[in-house]
Every structure is written in C-alpha cells, then in structure tokens.
Structure 1
Amino acid sequence: MTKSSTTRFSIGVFLCAVVLACQPTPEDGPKKSPRADGDDRAGPTLHYFTWSDYVSLELLREFEQQTGAKVVVDTFGSNEELLAKLQSGADGYDVTVPSDFMVSIMIRLGLLAELDLSKIPNAALLVEHLQRLPFDPDHQYSVPYLWGTVGIGYDASVLPEPPDSWSVLWDARYKGKISMLNDQREVFGVVLRSMGYSLNTRDPAVIERAKEKLIRQKPLVKTYTSEHYDQLLASGEVVLAHGWGGPVARAMAERPSIRYVVPKEGGTIWSDCLVVLKTSRHKDLAMQFVNFLLDPRIAALTSDRLLFASANREAKKLVSPRVRNNPAVYPPESLLDRLEWMSDVGDAIRVYDRAWTELKMH
C-alpha cells in the first residue's frame, strides 16, 4: 500500500523481479525472524510475514488470548522483498500478505497452500467487486484483505480548480511542487492511461513513448518517493502527489485543504491479500488467523488505523464516518469502472526495467 511507506510493485519471475505496491510509517517495534522449528508444548507459534505498517500488537494479543497460540511477526517493505525472502529459503512463515499481481506469481511458483474456505467463514463477507479477482477468481489461494486506489493528492488552496486529468502532473506552473511514486509500474501506469493504453501494455514501442513523456516531465518533479509523500503534502512542500489514497487521507487530517482524485483517464485498483504458505507447519491455525483478520470488528479497527479500505463489506459499516466517507479511503462505486488491476506482464518487464533505468539516469 502502502504502505515504511511502501513501494508497490509489478514483478515478473523473481530473477527479473521488479516492482510495485503497494503501499505509511512503520510501527509496532522491531522485526522478529521465524524459528526454524516451532515448539508447540506451550501452544503453537504462528509466524506472520506482513507489510511493516500493518501490524497492531493489540489485535495480535487478542488472537493469542483466543487461541493460546503465540504470534511472531516479521515485516517487509515491498513485494520484491517478500518474494526474495521466500525464495532465499525462509520456510518458517505461515501467513503473509502479497499484493494482487504477486499472488498470481506466487501461485505459479508453487509457494501457496490451497485454502479451505470452510475454515475462513469471513471470506464470504467480501465486497462484491473483490469476489472474483483475475489473479485468483475462486479464492483458491488468497483472500483480499485491504484495497484502494492510486490517484492524485492535491492542495485545493493552491490549484485554482480540481484537476480531472493526469495531465496536471505535466503542468509547468507546479514545477518543483510535484511528487511521483518511486514505483516503475505505477509511474508508467499514469502515462499509459493518459495515452489511452492499458497500464499492463506489453508493446515496447508504446512503453518507449511513455518513457519519453516521463523524461519531459522529470524537470517538474521534486522527488520520486513512495514514502512520506503525505508529509510533503501536509507541509506544503508539494501541491500535487501521485500516490495511494491512504497516505493522502493522512495528509488531509493535517492539512484540511488537501483533496484526492482519480483522474478521468482512470488508474490502478489494488488489493493486499492474505495467503497461507505451502511450507506452513500450522495450516489450520493459519486459516484461523486469516479468518480473525477478516472479522468485521477487527477489519474495521484495521481500516480506521491504516486508512485503507477493508475487503469486508460488514466492516465498512463499523469504521468511523470520517474514514467511511473519505473517497481517498473508500472510493465511490461509480469510480470502479475506470480502475484497472495491475498484472504480471511477463517478459515485457525487461522493457519496463530498461525504460525506468533510462528515466532515472536521464
């Protein structure tokens, strides 16, 4: 999401993994690594590998009290880091939280266990548009957890009128006051959508044209960052920020003139998903934990804390009105038709890699 504030990625196979995401400020203490073997004599130990800002120790303690289990947490800052850790041989984890397109990659690589949805009854409470996702339509391996959009945070006290197009990020009047995500697929996604193409295009000629347009924009950009752009907006250092809605919502709390918009050309919809790893030693407990995180009350507390929308439709009724009514967190249903899921682009990721490197070096 989103995430240390996180970088959301698009990744091909790991050897050419490049990023996303998806993602806020890390919290809740230091990382802990999983043990090689769990000692269940004092109750089983569940190893939870999650985004660095997604952990609430209070909620984890509640699960421990309910089950007698111990939860040990380790964190990552990107989908790339998640995949690298798992492929390096770390096999002690039980539950993790990959972003949408990464789920399909992990399925292809044989990293995920099949879910028994009878043990995850809260999965039946998903909002309608998250019920049959392209990367895992039957929730055989994953259940959506949190979701949101990518758009523009802007300062309404500076811009004369609300921006309705990605083209505002090329407006010379705001030179040095624009931030872009430090995320190659999301940045290229902006340009591709503005040009009328899918953000998942694999056409090298189109990607090259998108790169040239980004090179023309670069002198206007203050920074490419997926971290703390909410603070840049809140402090007035930037007046336009390309980013995930959650951090923009945090900026709104500090600077009331901040607004959020997904331009008319459309943008990214994302979801972080709960999965059980094939190497999990406690699969039943892992699915119990997934169900706990999807409980309406628990999910609502999580949404209120992180300012990302919950995948649980009942949770939306329980979140605070300021969160439920904030379009940066819960976008209106009328927006959904303009949103596109990011997908694995296969070998075309090498074209994006090269174009991104050339942009950064220009």
Structure 2
Amino acid sequence: MKLKKFSAAVLAALTVTMMSAAPVLAADDIEVNEDISVSGDYDWKRFANDHITLNVYNNGLYISDGSDESINVLSAFEELTGIKVNYTTYDSNESLYAKLKSGGVSYDVIFPSDYMVGKMAKEGMLSELNMDNIPNFAGIGETYLDRSFDPGNKYSVPYMWGTTGLIYNTTMVEEPPTKWADMWDVEYTNNVLMFNNSRDAYAIAAKTIGLSMNPQSVDEITAITDALKAQKNIVQAYVMDEVFDKMEGGEAAMAPYYAGDAITMIDENPDLAFVHPEEGVNFFIDSMCIPANAKHQEAAEMFINYLCEPDVGLANADFIGYSTPITAVWEMLDDDLKYSEIAYPSAEVLDKAEVFETLPDDINAAMDAQWSEMKSYEEGGSGWMVVALLLLAIAISAFNIWRKLRKKSRDNY
C-alpha cells in the first residue's frame, strides 16, 4: 500500500482555490433569518407538507447549535423546509460503524471520516448520492474531492477537514512538547490523556516507532500494540469528548486531539497551547453520507445541500473551529481563524501529514483484537494477580469445606 501524504503541492492548490472570490448573493436568495440566506434557485419547500423527520447522526460537538450565542442551523433548516431533524451524536468513527453494522437502526445523514467512508462503502453500507439534489457540491474546493477513499465522490460530500496534534497545559509542562513521543515520558505519569479509538491511537504510536499511520502488516500492528502497552502506565485516561472537560479544567498535562477542538479548548482555557508533532500528523476529511437503509434519501440530500450553503458553512466553521472545504466560506472567515496556524497549518506541517487509508480486512481485524487486548493489559504481571486470586479462592473454599466437616463431626457426638 503506497503511503499518501498531503504535500506542499496540494497546499499550493488549496491556497489558489481558497483565494477565489466568494460569490455575491443573488437578489432572489432566500433570507431564512438575519444570519442565514440560502439560494433561491433551490426548491427548499418540496417536502414541507410530507411530515418528514430526518434522523441525523453526527460526531459529538460538530455543528452550530445555538449555544454560546451561535446560530442554530438545525432550527433554521426546519423553518426553511418544514422538515424536522432528530439530531443525535456518537463519539468516534468506530462507534458509528458498530451502531450501523448491528442493524435495527436507521439514519438519514451521517458524518464519517475518510477511512470509514471507504470501509462502509466497500461493505455496501452507503447509498450513492444524486448530485442533482446537491448543487452546492460545486462550491467544494477541488483539493478535497475525488480522494482515494471515495473516487468520484459517489458516496460522500466533504463537511470539514483538519489535522491531529498535541494539546498541552503550559503551566503543567516544563518544556513544551514537540513530539508524539513526549506522551511516553514517565515524568508525565497519570497526566497524559490518549485517544479512546483504535485508529487514532495506533496512528500516534506508529509514528513514535518510525512506522506509517497506515500499518502495512499484522506484524506492524503487533509492534504498535507493544508501543501502546509501554505507554499504558503513563496514561491517566483514554478519552474522546471527555477531553474537553479534562483539558479545560487543568486535569491533565497533555492530550492528542483534533485541531478544530483545540481551538475551542484554548478559548476556554488560555493556559492551553497546541503543537503539530514533528513526526507527522493525520490530515483528515470528515464527510456527509447517506446510509444504505436511509428512509428519506432525497430529503437527506437536501440537508447535505443546506450544510454546503455559504452562510450555513460559515456558521458551522466559526462555531466549531474546524477547517472548511467550501471555498466561499474560507473567504468569509474572520482573519484570526482564516490565518490560524492551528486550523490552516503551514506547508511544513501538511507536507509530512498522512491520510488514513482504508485498511485491508486482516489488518483491521488485528487492530481491533489487539486494541481490546491492550486496553485490558496491565504491566507488571497481571497474570500473577489472576493466579493469586485463584489460589485465594481455592483456599477459602477449602476452609469452608473443612469447617462444615468439622461441624458435622461434632454433631455426630
């Protein structure tokens, strides 16, 4: 499997694309509220009398929802279209996959990351999109289209993109971390958080031992698992959304997480800072997809088209801090976000970044199995503890039998 990187050439293409002028709103655009206008060339009302409820399943705090004086883009969609939205969340791509794979659930729109789009498409879990219903797809920058996980964008429309990195508390570290390997430093025992999903955790550990974020064999998976085991006694907790409370509250010295969320955490706690580790980071694209068993495909395509409207995309990018793939939205951003080295990192960072590939089944299976093994692993002889507990149980059982026999013997006299 060829290692794919987000190169400086791609960055240059991104810059050219993003610097294109934002389109001017047409006179017949529809003003949904004082903050959102949408294209008047689209029939937003065609399901208004059909009493449709869309089940939307998104990844945690990943949409402008009206909190913290943000724009509630879901309420605006309901007002615009007459379609109700039932919005629920998951905490990782793996949780999303497991929920859909188990059956018995039906969602209309989901937001998997690149490698999970590829995996779900391969397994027949996604519907092909009718781009006639998503004309705003034309506003997505070419950099984010036709990627290896979904050639031709048959199944996905880019939603946000970003990178991973290391968030740290400047009051709790003597020297600012520069490498993923700093998370293995015993000086920070019980002060390090780690991703609670296998793909991100294995990617980080792989870089510390000189491997690609896309393992090439089961033997590489085993080597990475050993690296994670070596870190386990240093880790305070394996987290996903819990990272917000822990890092904002000063409960840990450092944690790996997504750059967009780092911006949110730093806003809440100015003692926090962020670095792209020098070994290289993950470049990811989160996408909008429709599951194969969705009940309302055309209405779901309308929702996807709505999220690609410039005003809506701006509200989402501004609220969550992630990087937008929509050309017009980047032009509309405030300069502090538009030129943020966290949200839009340098060519040096992006040149070393890796995209998660859709892994072969045998490597995925090995990762899942060894991740579970690693999570239950205890360094220093957990096997001896099991033996000791077993011997103690046998001893207690023998004592109880002896006591009963002794009592019975007395009763016979």
1:351 aligned residue: 366
Other structure's SS at 2:177 match? coil
TM superposition shift of 1:266: 0.7
Q: Compare the two structures and name the one with the higher helix fraction.
A: 2
Alignment of 1:277-356 (within 5 A): 277-345=291-359, 346-356=361-371
Instruction: Report the residue type matching 2:59 in the other structure.
Output: W
Identity of aligned residues (%): 30
TM superposition shift of 1:88: 4.0
For residues 228 and 351 of structure 2, what CA distance do their matches in structure 1 show? 26
1:50 aligned residue: 58
For residues 295 and 82 of structure 2, what CA distance do their matches in structure 1 show? 16
2:393 aligned residue: none
For residues 220 and 202 of structure 1, what CA distance do their matches in structure 2 show? 27
Q: Does 1:241 align with 2:255?
A: yes
Structure possessing the higher radius of gyration over alpha carbons: 2
Question: Is the 1:64–1:71 contact (alpha carbons within 8 Å) kept by the matching residues of 2?
Answer: yes
Instruction: Report the residue type matching 1:294 in the other structure.
Output: C
For residues 171 and 267 of structure 1, what CA distance do their matches in structure 2 show? 19
Instruction: Report the residue type matching 1:358 in the other structure.
Output: E
Other structure's SS at 1:267 match? coil
Query: Which residue of 102, 107, 111 corresponds with 1:93?
Result: 107
Query: CA, structure 1 residues 280+325, in 2 after alignment: closer, same or farther (shift >3 Å)?
Result: same
Q: What is the RMSD of the two structures over their aligned residues, measured on CA atoms?
A: 2.5
Question: Is the 1:91–1:280 contact (alpha carbons within 8 Å) kept by the matching residues of 2?
Answer: no
2:82 aligned residue: 68
Other structure's SS at 2:148 match? coil
Question: Is the 1:249–1:326 contact (alpha carbons within 8 Å) kept by the matching residues of 2?
Answer: no
Question: Is the 1:266–1:338 contact (alpha carbons within 8 Å) kept by the matching residues of 2?
Answer: yes
For residues 52 and 225 of structure 1, what CA distance do their matches in structure 2 show? 13
After superposition, give the CA deviation of every residue in 1:249-279 in whole Å (9 maximum; x if it has no partner).
2221122232111212112122221112333
TM superposition shift of 1:102: 1.5
For residues 232 and 86 of structure 1, what CA distance do their matches in structure 2 show? 29
For residues 181 and 232 of structure 1, what CA distance do their matches in structure 2 show? 13
2:5 aligned residue: none
Question: Is the 1:112–1:278 contact (alpha carbons within 8 Å) kept by the matching residues of 2?
Answer: yes
Query: CA, structure 1 residues 108+118, in 2 after alignment: closer, same or farther (shift >3 Å)?
Result: same
Alignment of 1:1-362 (within 5 A): 41-55=49-63, 56=65, 58-90=72-104, 92-345=106-359, 346-360=361-375, 361-362=377-378
For these two proteins, the number of residue pairs brought into alignment is: 324
For residues 236 and 45 of structure 1, what CA distance do their matches in structure 2 show? 41
Other structure's SS at 2:62 match? coil
Query: CA, structure 1 residues 163+65, in 2 after alignment: closer, same or farther (shift >3 Å)?
Result: same
What residue ranges of structure 2 are gaps of 5+ in the alignment? 1-46, 67-71, 379-413
Other structure's SS at 1:164 match? coil
TM superposition shift of 1:347: 1.2
TM superposition shift of 1:193: 1.6
TM superposition shift of 1:136: 0.6
Question: Is the 1:181–1:187 contact (alpha carbons within 8 Å) kept by the matching residues of 2?
Answer: yes
Query: CA, structure 1 residues 120+41, in 2 after alignment: closer, same or farther (shift >3 Å)?
Result: closer
- Per the normalisation by structure 2, the TM-score is 0.71
Deviates more, 1:289-298 or 1:226-235: 226-235
TM superposition shift of 1:148: 1.4
Query: CA, structure 1 residues 43+218, in 2 after alignment: closer, same or farther (shift >3 Å)?
Result: closer
What residue ranges of structure 1 are gaps of 5+ in the alignment? 1-38
Query: CA, structure 1 residues 80+157, in 2 after alignment: closer, same or farther (shift >3 Å)?
Result: closer
Query: CA, structure 1 residues 69+197, in 2 after alignment: closer, same or farther (shift >3 Å)?
Result: same
- Per the normalisation by structure 1, the TM-score is 0.80
For residues 110 and 310 of structure 1, what CA distance do their matches in structure 2 show? 28
